[in-house]
Structure 1
Amino acid sequence: MPIRTNRGRAAVYRRLWGWPLRSPRHLMGALVFLAILVTALGIVLPKVVGKPQAKAAPPTYGVTISSTAPRPGLAAPGPTSNLPTRLSTPLATPTPTTPNGDAIRVAKDWAAAWVNHPAGITSKQWLAQLKPFTTDEYLPVMATVDPANIPATKVTGEPVVGTAYPKSLQLTIPTDGPKLAITVVSTNAGWRVADYDQAS
C-alpha cells in the first residue's frame, strides 16, 4: 500500500537512516556499500559527462608558441620565438698582414735552440734554451720531449712565411732533419712560439 502522508514518509526515512546505527555489522556494511558506490560513480561519471576542457596554458614571456593543431599529412609547426639569435653581429675575421720581423726572429731563435741538443744534454738544459722563446702555456708540452729523439742538428735555411696576421704568424724552417712548422703569437711578453710540428 503506497505511503500517502508526510508522517509515514518520515517514519520510513528514520528507519533507513537508523539502519546503519543498529549494530557495528550494519555500520560496516553501510560503509562498504558507500565506498563501492563512490568508486563506481568516479569511474562512470567522467565517461558519461565527457573529458574536462584543457586548462589554459600559462603565459609565456617573450616567446610565442603556436597552438594550432596540425592538419593531416602536414608536419606540426615548431615553436616560434621572438628572442634574438645567438650572434646578432658576425665575428670579425682577422685580415692577413705583412710578416712581423720580431716574430720571424723569435721563430729562428727557437728553431736554433730546438736543434741544439749535443750528446749528454739533459731535458732540463734543453728546455732552458727554449724558454725565452716559448709561451708559458706551451712549455709543459715541450717538457715531454726527449731531446735525444730529435732527428735534426742544425737549421739549413731561412724561414718561409705561410700566413701572417696582426697577432700570429705561421712559418716553416728547414733543418737537416724534418722541416719545422712553427706558430708564433703575440703575448704580453712579446712574440713567442705557441706550437710546432715536424713537417716532411
Structure 2
Amino acid sequence: MPIRTHRGRAAVYRRLWGWPLRSPKHLAAAAVVLAGVATLIGFLLPEPPPRQDLAEPATTSEPPAHSAVVPTRTPAPPTISVPAEPPPQTAPDPAGLAVVEEWGKAWVDHPVGVDQQQWLAKLRPVTTDEFLTEMASVDPANAGNVITGAATAISATEGAMVVRLPTDIGVLQVTVVRTEAGWRVAQYDKEG
C-alpha cells in the first residue's frame, strides 16, 4: 500500500525520527526502549566460542621468515620488609657511648682558622661516610665549643642507639649505628 500524504515519504520518516525530540518524556521513553532492546539482543546472542589458535601454538616445519628479539626481563627492584614490631630495647653498649663522646670531642674541636676539611677529617674515624657528606654542609663556627656533660643513652637496640650529648649550645641527640667497622655516628639533632 503506498504512502498517501501530501508531503510524501520523507514526511513520514521525519515524523518517526522526530518523535523522541518532541518532549523530554518522549526522549526518556525512547532511551529506555533502546536500552531494553540492546539488553535483549545481548541476552539472545550466543557467546562466541573461544579462539583455538590462541590456545595451541602453531607448529610448522618451516623456519620463521624473521626472528623477533625477545626482551630480557629486568629484575624487580629490591624490597624492604618492615617488621611489625620495633626491635627490642637492650642495655646501652659502652663502646657506642665512647664513640659518641669521641665524636663530641672532635665536633667541638674547631679552633679559629681551622677550615672545614680539617674539621671533617677529625670527625671521619667515628662518622659514617653517608653522614660525612651531610656534615660537609655544616659550618664549624656553628658547632658548639664545650661538652658540658656525659653522654647518656636515650634508647638502645642491638644495632643502634640514640644518645644525649649536652654542649654549650644545647643538648644534641646523636644517633650511632653498629657497622662492620664498629659503632659510627649516623646523625645528630638539637633537642628542642
TM-score range relative to shorter protein: 0.5 to 0.7
2:118 paired residue number: 125
Q: Kindly indicate whether residue 178 of structure 2 is the aligned counterpart of residue 195 of structure 1.
A: no
1:154 paired residue number: 146
The alignment-based identity, stated in percent, is 40
Q: State the distance in 2 between where 1:103 and 1:53 align.
A: 76
Pair 1:165–1:144, CA change in 2 (3 A): same
Structure 2: unaligned runs, 5 residues or longer: 1-36, 51-82
Q: Kindly indicate whether residue 176 of structure 2 is the aligned counterpart of residue 184 of structure 1.
A: yes
Q: What's the C-alpha RMSD, in Å, of the aligned pairs?
A: 2.6
What pairs with 1:46-195 in structure 2 (closer than 5 Å)?
A: 50-51=41-42, 52-54=45-47, 91=84, 93-150=86-143, 152-195=144-187
Q: State the distance in 1 between where 2:108 and 2:148 align.
A: 11
Given that residues 145 and 168 in structure 2 are in contact (C-alpha distance below 8 angstroms), is that contact kept between their aligned partners in structure 1? yes
Following superposition, the deviation at residue 137 of structure 1 comes to: 1.4
Structure 1: unaligned runs, 5 residues or longer: 1-45, 58-89
Deviation string 1:69-123 (CA, Å, 9 cap, x unpaired) is xxxxxxxxxxxxxxxxxxxxx6463111110010000001101111111110100
Following superposition, the deviation at residue 50 of structure 1 comes to: 2.3
Following superposition, the deviation at residue 125 of structure 1 comes to: 0.4
The count of corresponding residues between Structure 1 and Structure 2 is: 123
Following superposition, the deviation at residue 54 of structure 1 comes to: 4.7
Deviation string 1:136-185 (CA, Å, 9 cap, x unpaired) is 111100111111222x2010101121001011111111011111100000
Structure 1 outlier segments of 4+, above 6 Å? none
Length-normalised TM-score, structure 1: 0.56
Q: State the distance in 1 between where 2:97 and 2:127 align.
A: 13
* Equivalent residue letter for 2:112: A
SS in structure 2 at match of 1:109: helix
Given that residues 161 and 177 in structure 2 are in contact (C-alpha distance below 8 angstroms), is that contact kept between their aligned partners in structure 1? yes
Length-normalised TM-score, structure 2: 0.58
